[in-house]
Amino acid sequence: METPELPRHPSLFARTPERRSAPRTVTPLQVPAVDGTPYLRFPLSQEALTKCVRAALDEDQAFNDLTTIATVRSDRRARATLRARRPGVACGIPLALEAFRQVDPKVSIRVDAEDGTRLGDGDAVLYLTGPARGLLSAERVALNFLQRLSGVASLTRRYVDAVKDTKARILDTRKTTPGWRTLEKYAVCAGGGQNHRRDLASAILIKDNHLAACDGDVAVAVRRAREIAPAGTKVEVECDQPQQVQSALDAGADIIMLDNMSLEAMRECVAIVGGKATLEASGGITLDNVRDVAAVGVDWISIGALTHSAPALDLALDFD
């Protein structure tokens, strides 16, 4: 997947006239990485990927890396392995590849772990060979993308594993880093989770403040939503007590969110709904209690922490 070569800083990438720049090569894996699900589809077009990574490289002044220019000869070559220092799930490989490609297209890369691959402590993710300057100047940007997105994927996988063998599915929320929503929601999928609504225009979710603006009348709020929503749009209502759940069900809500309810209250709501609507649990859910929440019989469990509180996965690029 090649794109036109971008301008490079002359002092960092100076070469003698007779030397030609060989195209960057990537050796991918042959097996999809996500457990038991279809192939992951990276969400950015090549144009968007190029712009995203270029902005990050420019922010880091990767094409004017004074330390590398001063200390490393332009003809020096190196080999390096990007490894996991903690167990987790890989995510962000296309972004890392693009970072090295843009800084120096002579870098060759072997992909040892694709997005969605479980990693053990010390597992190799990428093996890189090529000009040392290119590897050094792209290193931080590549790691920033990988560590952040792998952190989201890794935390998601822990929640998914915690509810294994229940019917509950782990979903994300809109609590994402501004500008990174597409990538962070992709990372949730790489970890085995599912995406909730992408944005305010993609679905209807009537929350407590919406209901307050309708004088607390759930039926009115749902009716108004049905009047303006495109055909086929699901309508969800947030409820914080069982009485509201009955009102939402009577109003014809497709999805009912149980917000910050106790396990006992959620069990009562599962009995009230009786499979007539999708039930989503949200609020106050942690790795310590997610299994108990799943056991009450809800269909979805949405967790904002997947994207707003995921710790970066410890990864490092080690030169031979």
Whether 70 shows a pLDDT value over 70: the answer reads: yes
Long-range contacts of 64-68 (CB under 8 A, 24+ apart): 64/9, 64/12, 65/12, 65/133, 65/136, 65/137, 68/12, 68/132, 68/133, 68/136, 68/137
pLDDT at 212: 82
Of 77, 110, 175, 234, the active-site residue reads 175
In the annotation, is 320 catalytic? no
pLDDT at 28: 53
pLDDT at 31: 46
In the annotation, is 259 catalytic? yes
Instruction: Find, among 217, 237, 233, the residue nearest to 280 by Cα.
Output: 237
Interhelix angle 132-162/93-103, rounded to 10 degrees, is 170
Both tokens of 56, joined, read 């990050």
In the annotation, is 175 catalytic? yes
Of 140, 169, 174, 234, the active-site residue reads 140
- pLDDT band of 288, cuts 50, 70, 90: very high
Sign (positive or negative) of CA dihedral 198, 200, 202, 205: positive
Taking only the tens place, the pLDDT of each residue in 155-165 is: 999 999 999 99
Of 112, 259, 280, 299, the active-site residue reads 259
In the annotation, is 238 catalytic? yes
Of 169, 198, 207, 267, the active-site residue reads 207
Ordered by where they begin, the domains of the chain are 10-157+310-319 (3.90.1170.20), 161-308 (3.20.20.70)
In the annotation, is 106 catalytic? no
